[in-house]
Amino acid sequence: MPRPGDGEPRPVTLIPGDGIGPLVTNAVEQVMEAMHAPVYFEKYEVHGDMMRVPSEVMESIKKNKVCLKGGLTTPMGGGVSSLNLQLRKELDLYASLVNCFNLQGLPTRHQNVDIVVIRENTEGEYAGLEHEVVPGVVESLKVITKFCSERIAKYAFEYAYLNNRKKVTAVHKANIMKLADGLFLESCREVATKYPGIKYNEIIVDNCCMQLVSKPEQFDVMVTPNLYGNLVANTAAGIAGGSGVMPGGSSRGSGSFESPVVLEHFNRRFKVMN
């Protein structure tokens, strides 16, 4: 496997996290050791009940450019901010990429599943813009911008182009949210015209969920706003064996370690190893 750089061990920030996070990240450490991978880990204890990600952890991530993170618990209600959301915003990790595919030896109901869900990671319903208008009435703002919609659409089409994918499907609810999701679709359509070799189609999110559990093999690359992508990616992961075995990452674009090419290369190697 070709490796970038001069072959010197590369530091990687490691956040074991909560729940099964330490188990999963410990398994990754064992795999890396068995592969003699030229990396070493800078480990930090971060937990979802903290008010903020410690500054030394943020500095480590910015320095190393790569972070392996287990799950961080998100408190239910109470006004405590999600650390996952803090990481995405402060590091501008605008693209979440999850590749869901059948693993050899893991029986599932559907075969020939190989779906890539690319989700906008910074705005939409997860922008965190909520306030209480009057007692008993809470207003939560859904923010969709042309800049972020075009940026995630370009990421999806560039991923499809670089990895020989044939189709990009935009997931939306523009039949109801005509302005917000309409802007997202408009941006996807504009970007699609620049990639004539890639088929483009659109699907309403509720129909998308039904189609996923009945005929998942029809999907290739899917590009979504924030909330829909969370639901679609977890549904696709469940179809292919569960979220615990599906590789994924958050990225700032092709300049980061978790670029489309690197993640796809890892995914292919992972398939071969299994």
What tokens were used for 31?
A: 């795999």
Model pLDDT for residues 155-214, shown as the tens digit of each residue: 999 999 999 999 999 999 999 999 999 999 999 999 999 999 999 999 999 999 999 999
- Please answer whether residues 220 and 168 qualify as being in contact, where contact means their C-beta atoms are separated by less than 8 angstroms: yes
Model pLDDT for residues 207-236, shown as the tens digit of each residue: 999 999 999 999 999 999 999 999 999 899
> Nearest to residue 226, comparing CAs of 153, 120, 129?
120
- Please answer whether residues 225 and 187 qualify as being in contact, where contact means their C-beta atoms are separated by less than 8 angstroms: no
Q: Identify the pLDDT of residue 165.
A: 95
Domain ranges of the chain: 1-91, 92-274
CB neighbour class for 198 (10 Å; exposed up to 12, middle 13-18, buried from 19): middle
Determine the residue type at 260: P
pTM above 0.95, yes or no: no
Secondary-structure class of domain 92-274 per CATH: alpha beta
For 152-190, b/e burial (b = at least 16 CB within 10 A) is bbbbbbbbbeebebeebbbbbbbeeeeebbebbbebbee
Q: How remote is the C-alpha of 30 from its chain's centroid?
A: 24
